[in-house]
Structure 1
Amino acid sequence: MHVSVVLFTSDLRLTDHPPLRAALDAADAVVPLFVRDRAVEATGFAAPNRNAFLDDCLADLDSGLRERGGRLVVRSGDLVAEVCRVVTEADADEVHMSAGHTRFATVREERLRSALEAAGRRLFVHDAVTVAVPPGTVTPASSDHFAVFTPYYRQWAQVPLRPAFGTPRRVSVPEEVGGEKVSAHGGSSEVSPALPPGGESAARGRVTAYWRRGLGAYEDTRDDLAADATSRFSPHLHFGTLSPVELVRRARRHGGPGAEAFVRQLAWRDFHRQVLAARPDAARADYRTKHDRWRTERTAAEDIEAWRTGRTGYPLIDAAMRQLRHEGWMHNRARLLTASFLAKTLYVDWRIGAAHFLHWLVDGDVANNQLNWQWMAGTGTDTRPNRVLNPVTQAKKYDPEGTYVRRWVPELAGVDAPLVHEPWKLPGLDRAALDYPDPVIELSDGLDRFRHARGKQP
C-alpha cells in the first residue's frame, strides 16, 4: 500500500489544501500529521492565546477528518524527528507540506528535506497555500523584492491564481500510526476572556456571514472603530483555517468597491511576506535604519506600563490596548494608532511594542506584526517615515460619537463626545470625579522629541 504523510503547519483546514490533495492523489492512504514543535515553544512564540486557538483548530480538523473516515495524528517534540518517526511507522514514501516564508520555517524545511532524503524518502513543498501570491513571484527589475506596496500591488493583481480545490470526500489513515489526544482548549486565566473560537468550521461560518452582511460595505466601514465592521478573518488566515486563494477568488467574483478594498488588504499580507522572505532580519532589526536612540524598558518603564495596561490618559489608545487584552485581537486602525503612539509619541523602541502584541494577538504573525510595527516606527517600508498619528484627531475622525472608547473605557461612560476623547478638558469637578489618569505626555512634547531625534528640527 502506497502511503503519504501530510504535514499540517499553518494550514489547518481541509478545503483548498494543495498538499492534502496531492497526497490523496498519489497514495492509497494518508497520515494527516501535526507536530507541536518544541522549537516553536523555545522561541517564545507559543503564547497562551495562540495555543488556545490552536487547540480549537486541531480539534476541528480532527473532527472534519473523522467525518471523512480519517483522523488527525498529533505528536510533540522536534518536528523533523517526529515526522521521520511517523514516516517509518507508516512506511510512507513521501511527505507533503506547505511552504513557509520566515527564516525559521525555511531552515526547518531544509532540515526535514535532508533527513527524509537520507532515509530514501521525498519531501514535496507546495506554494500558494498560506498566501495568494508566493514571495518571489513578482519582483521589480532592480531588486529581489518590492519595498513599496503600490507597484507591488499592480503586479500582484495581474498574477493568475491557482485553482481553488474542494474538500476531500474521504481520507483513509493507517491504523498503526498513533498520536496524542486532540481536544479544544478548556480555558485558562492566561487566555483572553473573549478569545474567539478557532477552527475551519468557525472560519467558514464567519465567511458566510461576512459575505452576506459586511463585504459590500467594507470600503466605507473598515476604519469605523465603533461599527466593528472588519472581517476578523486574521486569526483564521494566520492558522490557515481559511485559504487566501479562495478568499481572493470569491471576493473578485462578488465584485464592487468593498470586495476590491478587501482584496487589497490580502495583498498587503502577501507584500509583508515577500519583504520578510527577502530580508529575514527585518523580524528583529530595522529594515531602514534611522539611527534612532529609542527609549528602552529601563528608561521608559512607567510610560511603557501605562501603554500596556491602557492607562495613558488618551482614551482611544487605552480603549485599544484594553480590547487587545480582553479579546486577543485589535481593530487594524487601532493597531496603527497604538503603534504610532508608543514608537513616535513616547519614542519607545518598536520591538517592545511588537513583543507585547505578539504575546496577546491570536493572529500574532511575524511578517505582519513586525513589519507593520516597523511601518509605524518609520523604520520599515513607509514612504513617509516621519509621519505621526495624532490620537485625538484620529479618535474624532474614526470614533466621532465616542462609542468605541466608552465600550472599552467604562470610566468615561458618562462623558459625551467630543470631550470623551479629551477628558482633561472637562470642568474641574467633572474631571476630578473621573477615575482616569491625566495624559502621560503632551502630544506637542512628544512630537518635538521625535522630530528632534530624527533631525527634523533643532
Structure 2
Amino acid sequence: MTVSVVLFTADLRLHDHPPLRAATGSADHVVPLFVRDRAIEAAGFAVPNRRAFLADCLRDLDAGLRERGGRLVVRGGAVVAQVCRLAREAGAAEVHMAAGPSGYAQERERRLREELAAQGGRLVVHDAVTCVVPPGAVTPAGSDHFAVFTPYFRQWSAQALRTPVPAPRRVSVPDGLGSERLPDRAGVPGTSPGLAAGGESEGRKRLAAWLRRGVEAYEERHDDLAGDATSRLSAHLHFGTLSPVEVAHRARRHAGAGAEAFVRQLAWRDFHQQVLAARPATAAADYRTRHDDWRGADAEPDVAAWREGRTGYPVIDAAMRQLAHEGWLHNRARLLTASFLTKTLYVDWRTGARHFLDLLVDGDIANNQLNWQWVAGTGTDTRPNRVLNPLAQARRYDPDGAYVRRWVPELRDLAAPAVHRPWTSPSGPPRGYPPPIADLSTALTRFRVGRGLT
C-alpha cells in the first residue's frame, strides 16, 4: 500500500487543491498534515487575529476531510523535522505541497527536499495553488521579474489558466498517526471584536454571494469607503480557503467592467508575489531606496496617535479604528493611512507594516510589505513622491461622512463637510476629539526636504 503526505500551508481547502488531488490520485493512503510552525510563532507572525481565523480554517478543513473518510493531522514544531518524521511514521514515499513566494518558503522547500531525499523520499512542489499565475511564469526581457504592474498585467492576462480540480470524494488516512488537538478560536485571547469567521465553507459562501450581488458594481464602487462594496475575500485568499485560480475563472465568467476590475486585483496580488519571490529581501528592505532620513524618537507620539486613531484627521482615525475592530481594512483606507504615516508624518514604512501585520487577518508578507513600499515610494510605484491628502481623499471617497461617523462616534453629530474638518464646525470640535497632529503644508515640506526633493 502506497502512502503520500500532503503538507497544507497557505492552502487550507479541499476544492481546487492540486497537491491533494495528485496525492489521492497516485497513492492508496494520504496523510493531510498541518504543522504549527514554531519559526512563524517565534518571528511574531502568529498574532491573535490570524491565529483565531486559522483555528476556524483547520476545524473546517478537518470536518471536510472527515466527511470524506479522512482527518487532518496537526503537529507542532520545526516544519522540516515534523514532515520528515511523519513521512517515516507513515512509510510515505512522497510529500506534496504548494509553492510559496517568500524567502522563508523557498528555503523551507529546499531543506525539505534535501531531508526527504536523505531518507529515500521525494518532495513534489505544485505551482499555481496560492496564486493565479506563478512567480516567474511571465518575465520581461533581461529580468527575472516585472517591476512595473501594467506590462506585467498585460502578460498575466494573456496566460492560459489551469483548470480547477474538484475536491476528492474520498481521503483514506492510515491508522495510528498521532495528532495534536485542533485549535479553537475561543482559546485565542486578544482578537478584534469584529473579526470575521474563517474556513473554506465560509469562504465559498462569501464568494458565491459576492459574485451574485457585488462584482458587477465593483468598478464604480470599490473606492467607496462607506459603501463596503469590496469582496472581503482577502483573508480567504491569504489562508487559501479559496483558490485564486478558481476565483479568477468564476469572476471572468461574469464578464463586464466590475469583473474585470476585480480580476485585476488578483493580478496585483500575483504581481507582489513575483516581486517577493525574485527579491526576498524586500520583506524588510527598500526595493528602491530613496535614502530617506525617517524620523526617529521624536515621531513616537505621532505614531501612537496614528495607531490609536487619534490623529485629528477623521478619515485616518476612522480607518485605524476599523482596523482595530475588524482586523481588516478597506483598500482605499489602507492607502490613506499608509500615506499619512510615511509621507505626512514621515515615519519609516516598516513601522506601519508591522502594525498592520499585528492586526490584519489577511496579513501577508508579499502584499502587506510591498503595498506599504508602494505607498511609501520605496517600492514599485512609478510616482514615488505622490502624497495623498487626507482631506481631499475624504471629500472624494466619503463625501457625506458616513464612513467617518460609523467609526468615530465623537463626530456622528457633524454633517459633511465639517465631519472631515471638525475644527471648522461653528461650535468647534466635539469634546474629546483631538486637534490635528500635523499641519499638512508643513508636513509636505518636511517630506520633500527629507527625500531631497527641494
TM bracket (short chain): over 0.9
User: Equivalent residue for 1:128?
Assistant: 128
User: Equivalent residue for 1:408?
Assistant: 407
Q: Deviation digits for residues 197-240 of structure 1, max 9, x if unmatched?
A: 11000000101111111011110111000000100000000000
The aligned runs of 1:287-366 (5 Å cut-off) are 287-296=287-296, 298-366=297-365
Indicate the SS of the match to 1:420: coil
The answer to whether the 8 A contact 1:70-1:170 is kept is yes
CA separation in 2, counterparts of 1:432 and 1:267? Answer: 43
User: Equivalent residue for 1:456?
Assistant: 453
User: Equivalent residue for 1:441?
Assistant: 438
CA separation in 2, counterparts of 1:396 and 1:172? Answer: 57
Q: Deviation digits for residues 268-322 of structure 1, max 9, x if unmatched?
A: 00000111111111111111111001013x2211000000000000000000000
The answer to whether the 8 A contact 2:51-2:188 is kept is no
Q: Deviation digits for residues 73-124 of structure 1, max 9, x if unmatched?
A: 0000111111111111111111000001100011011111111000000100
Give me the identity figure in percent: 69
Aligned AA (1:350): W
Q: How many residues matched?
A: 454
Shift of 1:187: 5.5
1:269 paired with 2:266, answer no
The aligned runs of 1:87-236 (5 Å cut-off) are 87-186=87-186, 188-236=188-236
Aligned AA (2:399): P
CA separation in 2, counterparts of 1:433 and 1:356? Answer: 28
CA separation in 1, counterparts of 2:157 and 2:40? Answer: 33
Q: Which runs of 5+ in 2 are unaligned?
A: none
User: Equivalent residue for 1:421?
Assistant: 420
- Pick which of 127-136 and 447-456 moved more: 447-456
User: Equivalent residue for 1:65?
Assistant: 65
CA separation in 2, counterparts of 1:455 and 1:172? Answer: 63
User: Equivalent residue for 1:10?
Assistant: 10
TM-score, normalization by structure 1: 0.98
CA separation in 1, counterparts of 2:154 and 2:276? Answer: 19
Shift of 1:142: 2.1
Shift of 1:189: 4.2
Shift of 1:42: 1.1
CA separation in 2, counterparts of 1:85 and 1:138? Answer: 37
The answer to whether the 8 A contact 2:293-2:451 is kept is no
The answer to whether the 8 A contact 1:412-1:434 is kept is no
The answer to whether the 8 A contact 2:18-2:129 is kept is yes
CA separation in 2, counterparts of 1:350 and 1:286? Answer: 9
Shift of 1:183: 4.3
CA separation in 2, counterparts of 1:451 and 1:78? Answer: 46
Q: Deviation digits for residues 421-442 of structure 1, max 9, x if unmatched?
A: 0001112xx2254320000011
Shift of 1:180: 1.1
User: Equivalent residue for 2:238?
Assistant: 238
Give the ranges of 4+ consecutive aligned residues of structure 1 lying more than 4 Å apart after TM superposition. Answer: none
Indicate the SS of the match to 2:123: strand
CA separation in 2, counterparts of 1:231 and 1:292? Answer: 35
TM-score, normalization by structure 2: 0.99
CA separation in 1, counterparts of 2:145 and 2:382? Answer: 16
CA separation in 2, counterparts of 1:48 and 1:184? Answer: 12
The aligned runs of 1:361-380 (5 Å cut-off) are 361-380=360-379
Shift of 1:451: 1.2
Indicate the SS of the match to 1:273: helix
Aligned AA (1:190): G
The answer to whether the 8 A contact 2:410-2:430 is kept is no
CA separation in 2, counterparts of 1:396 and 1:385? Answer: 23
CA separation in 2, counterparts of 1:238 and 1:78? Answer: 22
Q: Deviation digits for residues 240-269 of structure 1, max 9, x if unmatched?
A: 000010011111111110000000000000
Indicate the SS of the match to 2:276: helix
CA separation in 1, counterparts of 2:193 and 2:265? Answer: 28
The answer to whether the 8 A contact 1:58-1:184 is kept is no
The answer to whether the 8 A contact 2:30-2:171 is kept is yes
Q: Which runs of 5+ in 1 are unaligned?
A: none
Indicate the SS of the match to 1:31: strand
CA separation in 1, counterparts of 2:165 and 2:230? Answer: 26
The answer to whether the 8 A contact 2:50-2:362 is kept is yes
CA separation in 1, counterparts of 2:40 and 2:446? Answer: 38
Shift of 1:43: 1.1
Q: Deviation digits for residues 333-362 of structure 1, max 9, x if unmatched?
A: 000000000000000011000000000000
CA separation in 2, counterparts of 1:31 and 1:188? Answer: 27
The answer to whether the 8 A contact 1:287-1:374 is kept is yes
CA separation in 1, counterparts of 2:120 and 2:185? Answer: 38
- Pick which of 337-346 and 447-456 moved more: 447-456
Aligned AA (2:449): H
Shift of 1:188: 4.4
Aligned AA (1:243): S
